[in-house]
Structure 1
């Protein structure tokens, strides 16, 4: 099918339209999987799956030492400079080897403690030890996908995403039917290996072109630059997922396990449509902002992104809201407590989208202090608001906290980003 001219002439729309097809297929498959999970494992099982996914996000950040965004940025900047790329990949190699070994050892020998802390039971020691074996795959997939993102090879990335998602979904269904909740957890744990091999199959030729494996050295010439991203990743990924695990435990202890599952189900729906934006951020927004140095150009690009993405997301979120009863019946039958959560979750996600676009300027310009301050503030607000509102409104209070947290976050990020350009202008004027 021929792509309309107005889409072909706009790279962001072109990426968005291609991404929409992939996400559309993913959503259909996800709805089917989530329905099966809801019927077979119930709210308690959904809560456990949510905690496992949070743990895997934390492992991904620690094993790769949080350098995903740094690799994206530097590959985008140095893709025509093989010498700089080799320095980048050598540094990445050292970081990831050390990170992988450290995380695998902690998981294997701390399996009993981690199982009790995360799942409130020692019966999942085997799962933690399985993750210890999966850590190298989690790490390599994370790093190689950062290279794909940095090169803006969005068509290849869409293919990798779709194929690996289909394969992991088939695996989940097979193991769920044969081993119930344990099978589902095992399938999720070994998905990174599937993702890695799919990426390698599709992308190996291009990887060899940019990454000369034989010339990798155990040196860290770009350590300082990448460590800044490691620090930012710790606050954005590790703390975020830790807070989500803690809030899930809080709901379980202060309200009910069923409510913890209902909240997790609501966040699952949110993550399914928000994944639509995540690829756009790393493929388009981060490389674009990295190359913009004036306030005028930044405002023009920001307006272009907002006018392209926000209406699309706004319409999509309105459809989800008005069809929420059907969404619950189709995906999470019997999860009746979800209905009041939709308005706050959707409002929060819309504001979050606008804020995250702005916040990518922190990553693009390595504004470490601003990034850490805004992330810590956001997480602290979410944590505090959740505990306060949960005591008054129950599980609905947690999604109210989600909305309020992102309203404040957007205002703070807006101020910090434009203060950066103001300071930069004053520095130029005074020089």
Structure 2
């Protein structure tokens, strides 16, 4: 499927996600305010870390391996079965730990021990979250875009209903519960849509672990786990630092600007996940990979630049419509944040190349290094420039990240070309006549 067609179909998913996110955003802004917004940001990042520990980090590996073994259904099923068993087992273990340490987590992350119950809700939903993410990863790897689109649309609508209703009736606690359980509820929609797909029989997802599949998934699991742990942890630490030095409301202003960036960048990030990662997994030649990278750059970068300019010009209207007057101080963050977004999208594109090419060591090191650097720069810049410093730190960190990743990808392309030349040379030698 072409990038343009995938982008158009994915646009349905993105439009739904954006609209539901904007409605939820307005509900949260009205009912919980800037300080509550900061708490929700902490909890959402905590969910990212927790679900990655529960095996959801396997999703990227499942997508890549499913696409790479497009002509071997036996291998695909072994990978699916192994990933599902690992994810369910780890989600149960993590869930037990959540229940045991719910009070400590509530005090450390939410600054309120009375909120401990939300971690119990999250623990109960972890197995369903793990199963849903892996089913979507399989669907993505099989390039079954129709199911992928519908499942995501239905999931977004379910999240809207849950978040809106629970926030309205139970305020901050209700919002936290909604974010904890809504990913699990979407499993119902995904399973229903996949029930008659010829390429999937649910009984194939259970059985003995496959050692070969386990080895194949291990590198991707490490990359997925690193990605899911490093940046969310950095964001938690940054938000905590802002709350301590500038106040919880100031942290809420930054969380609002960060969330706005996540929403408008969905078109690019979800397209990368749906189209780019499976496509990279199929590519064998350096020239084809370079061409694919350039094609995505030509589509993504202009979209982000134009979007950033429009958002900056309309920043006052956006705050009024999507938030409330209480969030007006966040307008000073728009310029730096949007510049950082325009740079960081290049890093995301190249980061997916590292995922698709299984550049495990490079990926893990860069993710950890630049997540730590983001926190370090934020601490330094906030002390010098106040709240704007964290957005400045994001811009600087994004510039450095893209520079390093570009060098690494260039090296990978050179290695691919060398291997291709060597293969051609070997094939030529093996077919040449032997003279006595």
| Range into which the TM-score falls when normalised by the shorter chain | over 0.9
Match of 1:213 in 2: 203
Mapped to 2, the partners of 1:200 and 1:238 lie a distance apart of 28
- Indicate whether 1:313 and 2:304 are aligned: yes
The Cα shift of 1:90 comes to 2.5
Mapped to 2, the partners of 1:71 and 1:300 lie a distance apart of 25
Question: Which of 385, 399, 405 pairs up with 1:393?
Answer: 385
Mapped to 2, the partners of 1:13 and 1:428 lie a distance apart of 29
Match of 2:4 in 1: 13
Question: Which of 120, 123, 128 pairs up with 2:119?
Answer: 128
Match of 2:330 in 1: 338
- Indicate whether 1:147 and 2:138 are aligned: yes
SS of 1:205 mapped into structure 2: coil
Whether the 8 Å contact between 1:73 and 1:286 is mirrored in structure 2 is yes
Question: Which of 206, 227, 234 pairs up with 1:236?
Answer: 227
* Normalised TM-score (structure 2): 0.92
Are residues 216 and 175 of structure 1, via their aligned partners in 2, closer, same or farther at CA, if it must alter by over 3 Å? Answer: closer
1:179-194 matches, cutoff 5 A: 179-194=170-185
SS of 1:219 mapped into structure 2: coil
Whether the 8 Å contact between 2:35 and 2:248 is mirrored in structure 1 is yes
Whether the 8 Å contact between 1:76 and 1:151 is mirrored in structure 2 is yes
Match of 1:225 in 2: 216
Match of 1:50 in 2: 41
Are residues 30 and 59 of structure 1, via their aligned partners in 2, closer, same or farther at CA, if it must alter by over 3 Å? Answer: same
The Cα shift of 1:65 comes to 5.3
The Cα shift of 1:177 comes to 1.6
* Normalised TM-score (structure 1): 0.93
May I ask how many residue pairs the two structures share in their alignment? 421
The Cα shift of 1:427 comes to 5.0
Higher mean C-alpha displacement, 16-25 vs 139-148: 16-25
Instruction: Render the CA deviation track for 1:341-396: whole Å, top value 9, x for unaligned.
Output: 11111111121111111121211111111111211221122011111001111121
- Indicate whether 1:90 and 2:81 are aligned: yes
Higher mean C-alpha displacement, 396-405 vs 71-80: 71-80
- Larger CA Rg, structure 1 vs 2: 2
Match of 1:175 in 2: 166
Mapped to 1, the partners of 2:287 and 2:205 lie a distance apart of 42
1:255-270 matches, cutoff 5 A: 255-270=246-261
Are residues 209 and 152 of structure 1, via their aligned partners in 2, closer, same or farther at CA, if it must alter by over 3 Å? Answer: closer
The Cα shift of 1:193 comes to 2.2
Structure 2 spans left out of the alignment, 5+ residues: 427-436
Are residues 219 and 33 of structure 1, via their aligned partners in 2, closer, same or farther at CA, if it must alter by over 3 Å? Answer: closer
Whether the 8 Å contact between 1:74 and 1:88 is mirrored in structure 2 is yes
Are residues 205 and 412 of structure 1, via their aligned partners in 2, closer, same or farther at CA, if it must alter by over 3 Å? Answer: same
The Cα shift of 1:154 comes to 2.3
Structure 1 spans left out of the alignment, 5+ residues: 1-9
The Cα shift of 1:215 comes to 7.0
Match of 1:7 in 2: none
The Cα shift of 1:410 comes to 0.5
Question: Which of 367, 382, 396 pairs up with 2:374?
Answer: 382
Match of 2:103 in 1: 112
Match of 2:277 in 1: 286
Match of 2:408 in 1: 416
Higher mean C-alpha displacement, 222-231 vs 410-419: 222-231
Are residues 211 and 361 of structure 1, via their aligned partners in 2, closer, same or farther at CA, if it must alter by over 3 Å? Answer: farther
Higher mean C-alpha displacement, 376-385 vs 289-298: 289-298
Whether the 8 Å contact between 1:51 and 1:118 is mirrored in structure 2 is yes
